[in-house]
Structure 1
Amino acid sequence: MKKNLLFVAVGSVVAILVLYFIFSPTASGDGADIIVPVEKGKFTVEIATTGELKALRSVMIMGPTRARDFRVNQITIERMVDEGTVVKKGDFIASLDKSELFGKLSDGQNNLDSEVAQYEQAKLDTALTLRQERDNILNLEYNVEQKKLVLEQSQYEPPATIKQNEYDLEKAERDLDQARQNYKIKFNQALAKMAERSARLRKEEREFQAMNDLLEEFTITAPQDGMVIYRTNWDGNKIAEGSQISAWNPVVATLPDLTEMQSITYVNEVEIRKVKVGQAVKIGLDAFPEKEFTGKVTRVANVGQQRPNSDAKVFEVEILVNESDPVMRPAMTTSNTIIAQELEEAIHVPLEAVHVQNDSINYVYLNNGVKQEVKLGMSNYDEATIELGLEEGDKVYLSIPNWGESQSVKLLEELNGKRNLKEEEAVQEEMPKQPVPGGPAGGKPAAGEAKAGKKASNS
């Protein structure tokens, strides 16, 4: 008899437990639901990005800057030190192929020799021409004196003879004046010709000397102390031995100032509106995960761009690193967490707890069987703040409970008049109602309630 009573008692307990789990609001058709408490505290909106370290200030290491003056447009790098080499001022960085410039030097030497020869020949020709003109003037001066003597000696000659001698003297004097004028003209012509030849010679000398000076620039040395970081080409590859540099952009490498670094990162167009200059940033280094740094946003690009191998538009953001550390090197990968917004005290729940109906009503499932509308504030990757509808200590489901699909939303009175419920009410009238254990009775929804919808998006 006692044994039968024991079996009855145990059976009753089991039956009660089964009924509890079947009708309890915490039960679901596919296992136990997760319920979490509504928390109140500090809330942060963060934007996580990946970036690359870059020195705030760098000195450019240049190849020949005047190579294009001599029509040397592409220069091949023959030899270079390894990237990351720490150098002192004057240390060797790289050597460039001089073969094309040697060809220009050979042509320049030939041009210079030709100009020197032409200059010397012009000097000889000018000297000879002017000497001939001076000799001609001397002869004409002698002829004038001779004609004067003949005229003086003919004073007792017939008038016709005297007249002829006078004409001969006048002609000799005219020839002398003309010769003197011609000499002045040829002298000035000779001066101009020699000045032109001299200018051409000086030009060739300057160009030849400039090419010799340029030859020294084909051996590149460090302008100051620092670490060598080579330039990245348009295709994303670093220049190396065998690469070519353009005479129009002869930058070979940079010497970064490692005492001040910045992280260059990119934020997608959806989140860029949240990023402002001056916002705090938490920075990590992939190479040294144990290191943590801080920084601040110093620049946000106004124009977006499309990164290689991506269809998304992004905006460049510059972040100044507050600390200095010897482990920091240019081009290191950084993980940046931009603190976009902060609330010292806010009610917040996990995003999984928030659902949306008809793209207009956000709600949560409370553990007391109520489907409560909420007004959302700001959100981050994991949580959303609640401005209306919940209090600290309330408990909400992270998934839809088994009674959730048939339950009505308890609307907030504060939001009445701010939404169109005609479509929702029509849907409610068409759907059958079922009683929910622990929740409101079945039948038509009471005033201030609406039917359930789909899961909330991250708003």
Structure 2
Amino acid sequence: MKKRLVIAGVTACSLIAVLLYFVFSSTARDASFRIHQVQHGSISEVLAETGTIQFVRTVMVKPTISGEVRHIHTDVGDRVSAGDVLAVIEPDPSQSLQLSRQRARVDGARIDLSERELNFERKRELYERSLVSSEEFDQARIAHTRARHDLDMAELELRILEMKVNVEVDSDLTHDAVRVMSPLDGIVIARAVEEGEVVASGTSSYTGGTEMFRIGDPDRMIVKSAVGEIDAGRVRPGQDVRIRVDAYPDAMYHGRVERVAPVGVRGPGSTLVTFDTEIVISDPTMELQQGMSCDIDIVLEKNDHSVLVPASSVMETADYRGAFIDQNDPALTGSTPGRRHMVYRCTSADPELPRCPESYLESAMVEVGIESTENVEILSGIEPGAPIALDARAVHAALTAKHP
């Protein structure tokens, strides 16, 4: 009897041990994965490029008269207003002589008019007393009129000449000294002359004259970038752009695409074709300077009311049989017909748990829209609030290992 009891006890213990083994072994094999609730949110797809800041409007300042630079009143980086004196030029003798001759002509015409006017008044008095003939009176009147016309023409020619050479009288300067003035409000971005240099007029020189200064308008600035031909077809005028300048990494500027060149260019010795793209900066500041390098994000697509899931929770499958592809393969990027996307939905009775057992995860095919580095837009296949596995690749690897 005792022997039977011992055998029965051993058998019962063995059964319990085997049962516990299978229970704990099954539990150990059924791993759990972190889950994420599908949410509403905003998503955008951006194209990252680099560019250079430039002024929209720049003006080359050239002298309107040849001569020697006597004084320079501004330098690179200075802010100037329209009419500010940038430099003073001493005209060369030939142009100074031309001005002197024209002024002498005006003085002579003024004296001649005075004499003709006196003669005309005398002739009129004599004519009224019938002491001179009408022919003599008419000759005096005509001479007076012609003298007034000659003075008017001489003064007009002098004004034109003075405007041409930009002459202004100043008590501290000689009468013929020429002031070179700023034609607009802006910032001096280049100075190409020094005091003592001889400059050529921009109006009379065959070479086009000497560039003395270059002034940029800081109220309108652009970023010039070169977009590769693969992405150029998706870049359109009006798209929003985020701009970060290397010199001010903590500042964010905004802009919009203004123009995409209709013709691509290929650099020397390169097979890469790029399209010059101009981006107008919406909020330029005085800190921005021509030639600064910057990083830009062109917003290609945007949706503020999307159904979003983390990018890690979506896998891409090549066909209906579920043969998965490697999303990290650069040769497989972009939209290719026949590709499908998949997530793993948690069917646990308590979807609020932070983790979901492997046995409760089921695949679900979804249609995706905009993709960013962090999130993916879901167009159909899953609803907001649904619990899904945060790491689809890890789930897929575990299921493949268990059911190869």
| 2:393 pairs with one of 379, 397, 400 | 400
Residue 217 (structure 2) aligns with: 257
**Residue equivalent to 1:279:** 239
Q: 3-state DSSP class of the match of 2:233? A: helix
Partner of 2:86: 91
How does the TM-score come out when normalised to structure 2?
Answer: 0.50
| Correspondence for 2:289 | 329
Secondary structure in structure 2 of the residue aligned to 1:337 = strand
Matches within 5 A, 1:103-182: none
Confirm or deny: 8 A CA contact 2:343 2:366 kept in the other structure: no
Distance 1:12 1:252 in 2: 96
- The structure carrying a bigger helix percent of its residues is 1
Pairwise CA RMSD:
4.8
- In structure 2, stretches of 5+ residues that fail to align are 1-15, 67-71, 95-164, 166-175, 195-205, 320-335, 347-359
User: Aligned residue for 1:55?
Assistant: 55
Cα 1:258–1:305 change in 2 (3 A) is same
Q: CA separation of 1:356/1:61 partners in 2, compared to 1, >3 Å: closer, same or farther?
A: farther
TM score, norm. by length of structure 1: 0.45
Structure 1 residue runs of 4+, over 6 Å off?
Answer: 11-15, 63-66
Question: How far, CA to CA, are the matches of 2:261 and 2:364 in structure 1?
Answer: 42
- Provide structure 1 residue ranges, at least 5 long, that are not aligned to the other structure: 1-8, 27-32, 67-78, 95-104, 106-212, 232-238, 408-433, 437-441, 443-459
Task: Find the counterpart in structure 2 of residue 448 from structure 1.
Answer: none
Is this contact kept in 2: 1:87–1:228, CA < 8 A? Answer: yes
Is the contact made by 1:229 and 1:254 (CA closer than 8 Å) also made in structure 2?
yes
**CA spacing shift, 1:247–1:34, aligned 2, 3 Å:** farther
CA distance in 1, matches of 2:245, 2:402: 56
Question: 1:355 maps to which residue?
Answer: 316
1:36-86 CA distance string (max 9 Å, x none)? 4433222212222222221222212348999xxxxxxxxxxxx9x864355
Return the offset for 1:345. Answer: 1.7
Answering whether residue 372 of structure 2 is matched by residue 384 of structure 1, we say: no
For 1:23, the equivalent position in structure 2 comes to: 30
Whole-Å separation in 2 of the counterparts to 1:315 and 1:292: 25
Flag the 1:62–1:347 CA change in 2: closer, same or farther, 3 A: same
Does the CA-based 8 Å contact 2:60-2:215 persist in structure 1?
A: yes
Higher Rg = 1
Q: Is the Cα–Cα contact under 8 Å of residues 283 and 295 in structure 1 kept in the other structure?
A: yes
Shift of 1:256: 0.3
Paired residues in the alignment total: 261
CA distance, structure 1, for counterparts of residue 20 and residue 65 of structure 2: 94
Q: Structure 1 residues 435, 91: CA separation in 2 closer, same or farther (over 3 Å shift)? A: closer
The 3 A distance-change label for structure 1 pair 278 and 225 is: closer
Matches within 5 A, 1:281-430: 281-307=241-267, 311-352=271-312, 353-358=314-319, 360-366=338-344, 367=346, 368-392=360-384, 393-401=386-394, 404=397
Partner residue of 2:41?
A: 41
Return the offset for 1:257.
Answer: 0.8
Pair 1:379–1:402, CA change in 2 (3 A): closer
Cα distance in structure 2, aligned partners of 1:293 and 1:344: 21
Corresponding letter in the other structure for 2:258: T
Question: Which amino acid counterpart does residue 45 of structure 1 have in structure 2?
Answer: E
Task: Tell me if structure 2 keeps the 8 A contact 1:374–1:386.
Answer: yes
Relative to 1, partners in 2 of residues 1:22 and 1:93: Cα closer, same or farther, differing over 3 Å? farther
CA distance in 1, matches of 2:29, 2:88: 78
